Structure 1
Amino acid sequence: MARMIAAAAFVLALLPQLAGAAGVRTKDLTGAEIVLSKPVERVVALPAPSAPTLIAVDRSADRLVGMHQTVREVAKSGLLGRLFPRLNDVPASLLSAGKSAFMPNVEAIAALEPDLVLQRGELGPQVVSPLVEAGLKTALIVYGDEDATRRNIRLMADLVGQPERGEALVAWRDDVLGRIARPDHAASGGPTVLFLSRMAGHLVATGTGTPTDFAMTVAGGRNVAAERAGSITVTAEQIMIWDPQIILLNSANRDLNPADVYADPLLSSTAAAKARRVYKAPVGAFRWEPPNAENPLFWLWLAKLFAPDAQTYDLRGEIRRGIALVYGREPSEAEIDHLLLPEINQGALNYDRIVSR
């Protein structure tokens, strides 16, 4: 009996240590320490890419109790919602009208009783302080270069108590980068490329320091807007001066498609339009351009567009395996057909060959 009591006392003494071992200690993207007694169970993810990244590291949407409206829209119309049907019911109206598009609706967020709120750290204290002052535990995401994306993935994996998932997703990024056959720009002059969006009625080019610029570069392209950083408002006349050989269109803009470029009196005169090398970016489970776990599929798609004869991999097979790695389920052939936008990109140079079964 004495031995049993001693053994019980030993176990009780260990309980605080065991609880600590099951907890989470990590740092957010601003370097602030995040300490949790256990992996998060209820998360509000205000930055749009943070929700699918959280889902990817957990292969589940069960921990997500709030998200950005963009994720709701993507889920309703595509693969993400079919993979994780509960996303159609996750609250998504959590941002208040104000000077910043990311001003949190603290009352609505607090009502969800989250363990943690993810917020954008690079937008300044005005979008963070209301959360902290309300007593909501907050971790900050920062979007920018590829290194930041990898740190975000690892942070999400730490928060759900699965750091090995973060390492697996980062290893996949390295594997894809190692397998893409990138032409030597000095020797072959990789194609000049413009990534084009439409915002508030204006055309916007993507410059350096962005995930999209990284994607174009690693896939063998040369960004015509590389002399500027971030998003740049441009005119059709400026695009004509750049005269890109390939124009890529933002997947988020429903009102910007290859047909619009071909019909434009100025843009139709670019080398890209004349060669029928204008392409709308696909949407996988989530959009491929913003920083998230699916980005390697964007790199693979771009590399095929830029130099189809140099790339020996099967794009459809890469998509099938990549979605399975990220989310835990392979897409069907019909789902791959749908996400590659064959109708919108119909008639573009080499596109039928690139996306064929």
Structure 2
Amino acid sequence: MEHQDPTRRRLLGGLLATAGAAALAACGGTRTAAPAASGGITLTDQQGRTLQLDRPAARVVTIPMPAASLLVAVDRSAEHLAGMHHASWTAMKDGIMGQMFPAALRVPHEVATEDFTPNVESVRALDPDVVVQWDESALTEPLQNAGLTVLSLTNNGRQEDVDAWTALFAAMLGKPGRAVEMKARSDAELRRIKALAAGRTGPSILYFNRFKQGLKVAGHNTYNDFYIKLVGGSNPATGDRGVAGSGMVGTEAEQVLAWDPEVILLGNFDDAVPADLYADPVYQQVSAVRSRRVYKVPLGGYRWDPPSQESALMWHWLTDIAFPRQDRSGLRATVADYFDFLYAHRTTDAEIDRILQQDANAASANYGQFGAA
């Protein structure tokens, strides 16, 4: 990135202040960015801490898993991604982000443990302008104590979280207007999905965060529970006979049999595919298995399971899974349009097949609606 002279930076700061106000208003009025007195950028993160940058961040290390791909989407470039969590890198490798931005696969990705505990020395060696981290003090304080600038994120399993992260990243990168554009697109899709779901009674849908190495399902206060209900479905894990507790909750096969879900979603945090359930004698009497309505969740620039910049595509996909179309789904065209908007990338039919997990889902009911014409 070019370093501007002080006069140009002061002018840029004024422009950012005007655009930043619009971005923050669009994201619910939360004050997350303002012009710094020196002409730089001041951010208020989700811990309520104030961060001051002399200029837009040029080197960013991201530790929360969705953050790396969101940064790339806001920036439409991987140029400013200096480091990321290994699970973020894996999603890029396994999805198509690595094809769209090959340089992202060369970004260091051993900056934290699986539970997000930072490797402080590894992070410091990357000389970041900003380190993005979850808002737990045990995760942020080691970085702050090392003199690093830390931007804290909160995840409450809500769409508002994505909007807030987008606004923070856009302001940090000096592109606050990008948050306005991204939220407007997401909001329009959300209104459309809500209108389609109005008055519908959909199937019971069970989401597995883990299947092969101990069953974990989406319980209360998860984003998965939100979008299951958004499209008109019900989540047996949060129903009258649901699991206790919040988040991803462990369960047993006997409980799955008792719930008897009509649709099963297999997430991208392990390698289970529909064929695993279709061949497993334990699950042969489950409605979703008998009717072959088990589906691997798509994997695009990021996993579609958790909240991200591609959540609107997940809502569209799940709507057509819950209420299969008799004609061809319009999702492929929506994916192509969204990827151009998010990543300045024109997808091929083969890439869309890969995103939608066409091979893994080929034997599942009604999946032909997502095929290429």
Report the residue type matching 1:115 in the other structure: D
Tell me which residue corresponds to 1:7.
Answer: none
Tell me which residue corresponds to 1:242.
Answer: 259
Once the two structures are TM-superposed, the CA of residue 252 in structure 1 deviates from its matched residue by: 2.4
The 1-side partners of 2:115 and 2:191 are apart by 37
2:56, 2:173 within 8 Å by CA — same for their partners in 1?
A: yes
1:104 aligns with 2:121: no
Report the residue type matching 1:102 in the other structure: F
Aligned residues with identical type, % of pairs: 35
Q: 1:168 aligns with which of 173, 178, 181?
A: 181
Could you say what secondary structure the match of 2:338 adopts? helix
1:43 aligns with 2:60: yes
1:153, 1:292 within 8 Å by CA — same for their partners in 2?
A: no
1:29, 1:148 within 8 Å by CA — same for their partners in 2?
A: no
1:195 aligns with 2:210: no
1:272-351 alignment, distance < 5 Å: 272-309=288-325, 314-351=330-367
Deviations for 1:226-261, whole angstroms, at most 9, x for unmatched residues?
25521110111101111111000002211x111111
Instruction: Check 1:27–1:243 CA distance in 2 against 1; reply closer, same or farther (3 A cut).
Output: same
Once the two structures are TM-superposed, the CA of residue 266 in structure 1 deviates from its matched residue by: 2.5
The 2-side partners of 1:347 and 1:47 are apart by 34
1:118 aligns with 2:135: no
The 2-side partners of 1:31 and 1:199 are apart by 37
The 2-side partners of 1:297 and 1:28 are apart by 27
Larger Rg: 1
Tell me which residue corresponds to 1:154.
Answer: 167
Moved more, 124-133 or 19-28: 19-28
Once the two structures are TM-superposed, the CA of residue 199 in structure 1 deviates from its matched residue by: 6.7
Tell me which residue corresponds to 1:211.
Answer: 223
Moved more, 337-346 or 109-118: 337-346
1:133 aligns with 2:166: no
Deviations for 1:164-201, whole angstroms, at most 9, x for unmatched residues?
111111111111112225334xx642111000132782
Q: Which runs of 5+ in 1 are unaligned?
A: 1-11
Once the two structures are TM-superposed, the CA of residue 342 in structure 1 deviates from its matched residue by: 1.6
Could you say what secondary structure the match of 1:44 adopts? strand
2:294, 2:364 within 8 Å by CA — same for their partners in 1?
A: yes
1:259 aligns with 2:264: no
1:20, 1:37 within 8 Å by CA — same for their partners in 2?
A: no
Tell me which residue corresponds to 1:61.
Answer: 78
Report the residue type matching 2:133 in the other structure: Q
The 2-side partners of 1:310 and 1:217 are apart by 22
1:45, 1:118 within 8 Å by CA — same for their partners in 2?
A: yes
Could you say what secondary structure the match of 1:208 adopts? coil
RMSD: 2.2
Q: 1:221 aligns with which of 221, 224, 233?
A: 233
Instruction: Check 1:45–1:199 CA distance in 2 against 1; reply closer, same or farther (3 A cut).
Output: farther
The 1-side partners of 2:326 and 2:189 are apart by 15
Once the two structures are TM-superposed, the CA of residue 283 in structure 1 deviates from its matched residue by: 0.4
Once the two structures are TM-superposed, the CA of residue 13 in structure 1 deviates from its matched residue by: 11
Instruction: Check 1:89–1:274 CA distance in 2 against 1; reply closer, same or farther (3 A cut).
Output: same
TM-score by length of 2: 0.85
2:57, 2:130 within 8 Å by CA — same for their partners in 1?
A: yes
1:26, 1:155 within 8 Å by CA — same for their partners in 2?
A: yes
Q: Which runs of 5+ in 2 are unaligned?
A: 15-38
The 2-side partners of 1:59 and 1:111 are apart by 25
The 1-side partners of 2:130 and 2:297 are apart by 32
Runs of 4+, deviation exceeding 3 Å: 12-22, 181-184, 309-313
2:219, 2:237 within 8 Å by CA — same for their partners in 1?
A: yes
Once the two structures are TM-superposed, the CA of residue 84 in structure 1 deviates from its matched residue by: 0.7
Report the residue type matching 2:165 in the other structure: N
Could you say what secondary structure the match of 1:266 adopts? helix
Once the two structures are TM-superposed, the CA of residue 78 in structure 1 deviates from its matched residue by: 3.1
The 1-side partners of 2:76 and 2:223 are apart by 23
Once the two structures are TM-superposed, the CA of residue 15 in structure 1 deviates from its matched residue by: 8.1
The 2-side partners of 1:194 and 1:43 are apart by 36
Tell me which residue corresponds to 1:231.
Answer: 248
The 1-side partners of 2:364 and 2:12 are apart by 57
Tell me which residue corresponds to 2:100.
Answer: 83
Could you say what secondary structure the match of 1:225 adopts? helix
Count of paired positions: 338
Could you say what secondary structure the match of 2:131 adopts? strand
Instruction: Check 1:183–1:76 CA distance in 2 against 1; reply closer, same or farther (3 A cut).
Output: closer
